[in-house]
Amino acid sequence: MDNLTTVTLAKIIGAFFYYSPRSETVKPLIEALLHIDQLANWQNPELIHQQCQKLKVELTHQDLDYHFSLLFEGQGEMLAPPWGSVYLDQEKLLMGESQERYRAFLQQQGVMLSTGMNEPEDQFGLMLMAFALLLEKNQPQTANQLLNEHLFTWSTYYLNQLKQNQISPFYAALAVIAEQYLEMLQ
């Protein structure tokens, strides 16, 4: 996979893991997501095509913003928290030691994530977007370090939980696509 494709996919997938599909930020990316099967030479193109079909159907679901809120912002107990520290730290809390190591890593690389919200940087979508940023800054070794030391350590478990969620087929399909993307990067 060439660098431009790698960056493009990371930005698209990362954005949909971070922003609600109805947000103004990702509205321009919807067509790209729905045709993401055509943007790369996927290892399992039929699987990705099937997920795109599911996304098309589910994108019209009127409760999609609510599903996003349940799965990514939290209302009660979260089925699949999108933050690495929940999976990596002994106490399973946000802002744990793994989050602090990741924050220090970003600072060492001069990467400042300014989302306008006070939240942990180890959110799955944000990490994909930081990966894309490092590649755009022509820092492939650092980008790979982000993947190997900070994202791959917990992403499989997280994506498996999200794929099995009973709340939203949209996000289950998105998790399959993200999983296939990360497998291509490994």
Closest by alpha carbon to 173, among 27, 51, 87, 42? 51
pLDDT of residue 60: 85
DSSP code string of 69-133: IIIII-SSS-SS--BHHHHHSTT--TT-HHHHHHHHHHHHTT-----SS---S-BHHHHHHHHHH
CATH code at 159? 1.10.3480.10
Range of the domain at 39: 3-185
pLDDT of residue 118: 67
The predicted-structure confidence for 103-116, as pLDDT tens digits, reads as follows: 999 999 888 776 66
pTM confidence score: 0.94
**Domain total of the chain:** 1
Higher pLDDT, 92 or 178: 178
pLDDT of residue 173: 98
